Amino acid sequence: MKRIGIAMLLLSTFCWAQTPDGFEPASTNVWGAAYPRVDTGGRAEFRVKAPNAGKVQVNFWGAAKLDMVKQPDGMWTVTSEPLVPGFHYYTLLIDGAEFSDPASHTFFGGGKDASGIEIPEPGSTYYLPQDVPHGAVREIWYLSKVTGTWRHALVYTPPGYDTETKMRYPVLYLQHGGGEDETGWIRQGRANFILDNLIASRSAKPMIIVMAYGYAKRAGHPDPDLTGKPFGSPEMMKAMQEMASTFEDDMTQELIPFVDSHFRTVADRDHRAMAGLSMGGMQTFQVTFDHLDLFSYIGGFSGAAGPMVLGKEKLDPKAAFHGALADPEAFSTRVHLLWLGVGTTEPAMMKAGLERLHTSLDEAKINHVFYESPGTSHEWQTWRRDLKDFAPRLFQ
């Protein structure tokens, strides 16, 4: 009885229910943390202990900072306006110094570990764990001759992979964005739950998903010195092009052969897809169009064909991608799906670039899908929705 009493005390201490004002702890909190809290209207309430601080702010990335108000007990509090549903990065600014919130789990984004908060989307369960068969997420390491290093990737195997041992599966290579890493599609994007639910409803074919580390430096090459070089400078662009080229070689020469030899894949182009978000979308277009012998499904989530999206030029189908689009009928026969997605509130230059690419493809009579995520920007809710639309179109 004594042990039961202690257990009940712990549960009453650490299991927080919804309060009378409609708030409840965010699902992204660490165990036992009552704050941050979210309500059904999408507001987030923060509380931070910093009795000696003179100024504390919540720093949502890409949005205005929230000034917190100091309370008599040394706690600082603030409640946000309603936020767009989905995952949001944030940090705390305490007297100008940036910290992760100790009450939140951290997620790799912006080139560092940062706090994150999940704002529920009413009625949406497609990216949540449900009472359906679940796949597994595995870690792999492979030695790359291209980079001269051990490389890391995550691999989702669908439900039944370990029991239906004669079954072979198509593969989707799914890439993260700039500043993030191979953990993003699972931790922030919840790709495993999205696929579990799609497969359970028979909306998508069972498939393997490979999520690789997207940064690469060629073996024997020194690190580029980009000190003081602004984004878009010739030095920066040259370094990015070299990284993209190295990643392309690593993927096609090392990763794909490793996956095909260690997992039960259907190892041909008709059963191989690639997609990615932002930087990963640009990588996808480079890798797939350079290797149409390896891929027949292509997806860009808020990213595709870098210079065409970031510049102001329309697509020239006869010149782009080594002339792969010059014959629309032949391209449509060879590529089973070309897919583009963008959020309706994305940064203006990126949205305009993707819309321009979509228009250019239409004018060139290139079959493709163009999907717009309503009310979302360059963020994970856009890319979750993208995957939900993209995956059911694969391998049909």
* CATH number of the domain where residue 206 is located: 3.40.50.1820
Mapped to the 3 state alphabet, what secondary structure does 191-258 carry? HHHHHHHHHHCCCCCCCEEEEECCCCCCCCCCCCCCCCCCCCCHHHHHHHHHHHHHHHHHHHHHHHHH
Percent of the chain past pLDDT 70, that is, above it, reads: 91
Q: Identify the domain containing residue 103 by its residue range.
A: 21-119
Q: Which residue, of 54, 85, 119, is where some domain finishes?
A: 119
Residue 271 has what pLDDT?
98
The number of domains in the chain is 2
Q: Looking at the predicted structure, is the pLDDT value of residue 342 above 90?
A: yes
User: Tokens for 22?
Assistant: 């409609």
In DSSP terms, which residues pair with 150 in a beta bridge? Answer: 143
pLDDT, residue 231, reads 58
Do 171 and 83 fall into the same domain?
Answer: no
Given a cut of 90, whether residue 288 has pLDDT beyond it is: yes
Where residue 94 sits, what CATH number does that domain have?
Answer: 2.60.40.10
Nearest-Å Rg of the Cα atoms of the chain is 23
pLDDT band at 162; cut points 50, 70, 90: very high
Whether pLDDT at 146 is above 90: yes
Beta strands in the chain (DSSP E): 24-25, 37-38, 44-49, 56-60, 66-67, 69-70, 75-79, 86-94, 97-99, 106-109, 112-119, 136-144, 149-157, 171-175, 208-212, 272-277, 297-301, 337-343, 369-373
Cis check: omega of the bond before 36, within 30 degrees of 0: yes
| Cβ proximity of 16 and 36 under 8 Å | no
In eight-state DSSP terms, residue 238 is H
The residues, ordered by sequence, that sit 6+ positions from 6 with a Cβ below 8 Å of its Cβ are: none
State the pTM of this model. 0.91
Mean pLDDT of 339-366: 93
**Distance, CA of 207 to CA of 210 (rounded, Å):** 10
For residues 214 and 107, state if they share a domain: no
- DSSP structural state of residue 251: I
15 belongs to a structural domain: no
In-domain check, residue 304 = yes
Q: Measured between alpha carbons, how far is 30 from 32 in angstroms, rounded to an integer?
A: 6
Mind listing the pLDDT tens digit for each residue in 104-131?
999 999 999 999 999 999 999 999 999 9
Asked if 173 and 305 sit in the same domain, the reply is yes
| Those residues with Cβ within 8 angstroms of residue 14's Cβ, 6 or more apart along the chain or in another chain | 31, 32
pLDDT on residue 273 = 98
The answer, yes or no, to whether residue 325 has pLDDT greater than 80, is: yes
Q: What is the DSSP letter of 84?
A: P
Residues 47-100: tens digit of each pLDDT: 999 999 999 999 998 788 999 999 999 999 999 999 999 999 999 999 999 999
Is residue 317 pLDDT above 90, yes or no? no
Q: Which residue has the tokens 């012998």?
A: 293
Looking at 149-201, list the stretches that DSSP marks H as alpha helix, in order from N- to C-terminal side: 184-187, 191-200
CA dist., res. 386 & res. 117, Å (int): 20
Phi and psi angles of residue 293, each rounded to the nearest 5 degrees, phi first:
-75, -15
- Please determine, for residue 8, whether its predicted confidence score (pLDDT) is greater than 50: no
Confidence of residue 320 (pLDDT cuts 50, 70, 90): confident
Q: Which of 14-18, 259-263, 314-318, 371-375 has the lowest mean pLDDT?
A: 14-18
Residue 10 pLDDT = 35
243 and 348: one domain?
yes
The token pair at 2 is 């004594």
Per-residue pLDDT, 35: 97
pLDDT in tens, 210-234: 999 999 999 998 877 667 766 557 8
* Amino acid at residue number 6: I
Query: What is the percentage of the chain residues whose pLDDT exceeds 90?
Result: 81
Q: What is the pLDDT of residue 272?
A: 98
The reply to whether 172 and 290 lie within a common domain is yes
The one-letter amino acid at 303: G
Q: What is the pLDDT of residue 135?
A: 98
Q: Are 304 and 356 in contact (CB under 8 A)?
A: no
**Residue with tokens 């430096």, as numbered in its chain:** 217
